[in-house]
Structure 1
Amino acid sequence: MLSPSQTTWVILAGGQASRMGGHDKGLVQLNQMPLIEHVIERLRPQTSHIVINANRNLSTYQAYAPVIKDLFSEYPGPLAGMHAGLTASKNEWVGFVPCDCPRLHKDLVTRFCAHVTDGIDVLVATDGDKQQPVFALMHRRVLPKLTEFLQRGERKLMFFIRECRFQEVDFSDAPECFLNLNTPQELAKFGELTQ
């Protein structure tokens, strides 16, 4: 089994957050704490290798973990953050989670590592109903394919995953761990529920 210590985990906070009114989503407050802190609180006990992908407020994010920027301009989406993470990592396996999921599964890293097998390039989470592609673990060997994919103007994460040898990781026992907060209304509602 792949050890969690052999993986790097990238928190994706590099988007435009247009549905959050353009505010930097990772720094939006939830219960008096930035969203990024909620995610780090869940992820830090699982791995010692955490990196943040961000394209603004870099110095603020650097207080939490090393920061990497997209290498593609104009915010092409989560794949650009994945590309940056795969490019920067010294570990062969690189995991990804979004910055807006405060209920991140407490065994996410171990569960992904347990599913690594020969011949698989990408592991992607499923909630039992559908795939959750921003929760993924990728081998660095997909980097040339991802670079070419982005260079030809493609942006759809699921399309890229389907071009790779992938396997699902089952989280159907805890679908709530994928709850993501995209709008101020969702943020406010979740904050009320957890107080």
Structure 2
Amino acid sequence: MPTPDNTSWVILAGGQASRMGGNDKGLVTLAGRAMIEHVIDTLRAQTSAITINANRNQDTYRQYGKVFGDHIKNYPGPLGGMHAALHHLDSEWIGFVPCDCPALPHDLVARMSSACDSNTDIAVAHDGEHIQPVVTLVNRRILPKLEQFLENGDRKIILLYRQCNMITVDFSDQPNAFVNLNTPEELEQFGQAL
């Protein structure tokens, strides 16, 4: 069973960030700091087992912790980071959060962990209206399914989840915790509200 002490957490910063003008989203400035710093601050209060999945600017990301890149070329998206993490880390349970979600719940790790039982393959955050497919806690037993899925050329994350024993974890009390900042305009608006 996962607990905050036996899970590893990965910040996914491996994308191309095409909507952010190609700028590395984790490193763009929000309120005077790199966006990933906001994510790390929230996670660090909940767990010490944090690594970063990045395919660009790895030397810059190393100032924040251990970094690893995708094993699969051509940016397969979040699933590429998950695939690499399952090969890179030994933990039975690995959690994932995106680098462009600076207001994550302060009880994310505990709530995600406690929602799982021995049959759970994947726990996915739900904001009350939508699932948040990149805020997830997975059991490493999904790796064969994930590898087959990627070998088939599939990239749509929710299709993989439907092949697994997925549960959703209710965060409807914190619906704004999953704000994604994908464009310079969204970044500016969010920064002004801080």
- Sort the TM-score into its range (normalised by shorter chain): over 0.9
What do residues 113-150 of structure 1 show as CA deviations (whole Å, max 9, x unaligned)? 10110211000111111111000000000011101111
- Matched residues, number: 194
Unpaired segments of 5 or more residues in structure 1?
A: none
- Equivalent positions of 1:23-38 (< 5 A) are 23-38=23-38
- Equivalent positions of 1:136-155 (< 5 A) are 136-155=136-155
State the Cα distance separating 1:156 from its structure 2 match: 0.3
**Residue 70 of structure 1: SS of its match in structure 2?**
coil
CA distance, structure 1, for counterparts of residue 117 and residue 93 of structure 2 = 12
State the Cα distance separating 1:12 from its structure 2 match: 0.4
**Residue 71 of structure 1: SS of its match in structure 2?**
coil
**Residue 187 of structure 2: SS of its match in structure 1?**
helix
Off by >6 Å, runs of 4+ in structure 1: none
Aligned to 1:133: 133
CA distance, structure 1, for counterparts of residue 118 and residue 66 of structure 2 = 30
Aligned to 1:165: 165
TM-score normalized by structure 1? 0.98
**Residue 5 of structure 1: SS of its match in structure 2?**
coil
**Residue 63 of structure 1: SS of its match in structure 2?**
helix
TM-score normalized by structure 2? 0.98
Query: Which AA in structure 2 matches 1:172?
Result: S
Query: Which AA in structure 2 matches 1:155?
Result: R
Aligned to 1:192: 192
Query: Which AA in structure 1 matches 2:46?
Result: Q
Aligned to 2:48: 48
CA distance, structure 1, for counterparts of residue 110 and residue 22 of structure 2 = 34
Query: Which AA in structure 2 matches 1:58?
Result: Q
Query: Which AA in structure 1 matches 2:22?
Result: G
Amino-acid identity (%): 56
